[in-house]
Amino acid sequence: MPIKGFRTYPDNEILKLMQNNDEAALEILFQRYYKMLCEFVRIYTRDDAVCEEIIADLFVKLWKNRSKLEVEHLKSYLFISARNQALNFVRKPDSPVFYMDRLEDFENFFYDEGNPHRIMSDREACDSIFSFIDLLPERQKEVLLMSRIDNLGKERIAEILSISVRTVETTLYAAVSQLRTIMNRHNRAT
């Protein structure tokens, strides 16, 4: 089938074509999502070349694993995979972003006029909050991190996860409520 014939097909139909070894289907998905995914990954990597490499790798993996894919919402799958690959890149000790973050921490340590014990206390508190966030159900954790860490709006989160804005709002509310409960329990126990 010519590429123009299924340019308007929904993602799940294009995914089926791709799973049947149709390279044109992969090209359509690439054209449809490449720019959006690069912009999203740039939030994490701060580097255009790295963004392009991560997204290219994502599509290579998508093609290699096409026969094994069991994806209900392709757009969500692509954005979550892109985020995970970006985070893996950023966490590598040889990553420029890793060094920049460490440099910023280092500079903030010396230029902060506050008490060094307070600085350490703030970092420990931040680590504790992330450990509490890890206790949340997967969807709540995902929405909370996208909202509070990635600074994405509710509409953008809904678009990425292929859910309604109302679902994002209720999930975010539930996540914050449950996080408060977890933190209160922890504070009472200590």
> Which pLDDT score is estimated for 5?
59
C-beta of residue 70 within 8 angstroms of C-beta of residue 80:
no
Read out DSSP for the chain? --GGGGTTS-HHHHHHHHHTT-HHHHHHHHHHHHHHHHHHHHHHH--HHHHHHHHHHHHHHHHHTTTT---S-HHHHHHHHHHHHHHHHHHSTT-HHHHHHHHHHHHHHHH--S-HHHHHHHHHHHHHHHHHHTTS-HHHHHHHHHHHTS---HHHHHHHHT--HHHHHHHHHHHHHHHHHHHHHHHHH-
C-beta of residue 25 within 8 angstroms of C-beta of residue 31:
no
Residue 126 banded pLDDT, cuts 50, 70, 90: low
Distance CA 37, CA 20 (A): 24
* Structural domains of the chain sorted by starting position, each given as residue range(s) with its CATH number in brackets: 3-91 (1.10.1740.10), 112-189 (1.10.10.10)
| Helices 138-148 and 116-133: angle between axes, nearest 10 degrees | 140
**Taking the CA of residue 79 as centre, how many other CA atoms within 13 Å lie in the half-sphere pointing to its CB?**
21
> Which pLDDT score is estimated for 90?
74
- pLDDT tens per residue, range 68-123: 988 888 888 999 999 888 888 877 655 544 434 443 443 344 344 444 444 444 55
Residue 36: is it exposed, middle or buried by C-beta count within 10 angstroms (0-12/13-18/19+)?
middle
Q: Residue 55 pLDDT > 90, yes or no?
A: yes
pLDDT, greater one: 3 or 22: 22
- pLDDT tens per residue, range 38-52: 988 888 777 788 888
> Which pLDDT score is estimated for 20?
93
C-beta of residue 65 within 8 angstroms of C-beta of residue 78:
no
C-beta of residue 19 within 8 angstroms of C-beta of residue 66:
yes
> Which pLDDT score is estimated for 43?
81
Percent of the chain with pLDDT over 70: 77
> Which pLDDT score is estimated for 123?
57
C-beta of residue 52 within 8 angstroms of C-beta of residue 24:
no
- pLDDT tens per residue, range 128-177: 777 888 888 989 988 888 887 778 889 999 998 899 999 998 898 888 88
Q: Residue 59 pLDDT > 90, yes or no?
A: yes
Residue 29 banded pLDDT, cuts 50, 70, 90: very high
pLDDT, greater one: 126 or 89: 89
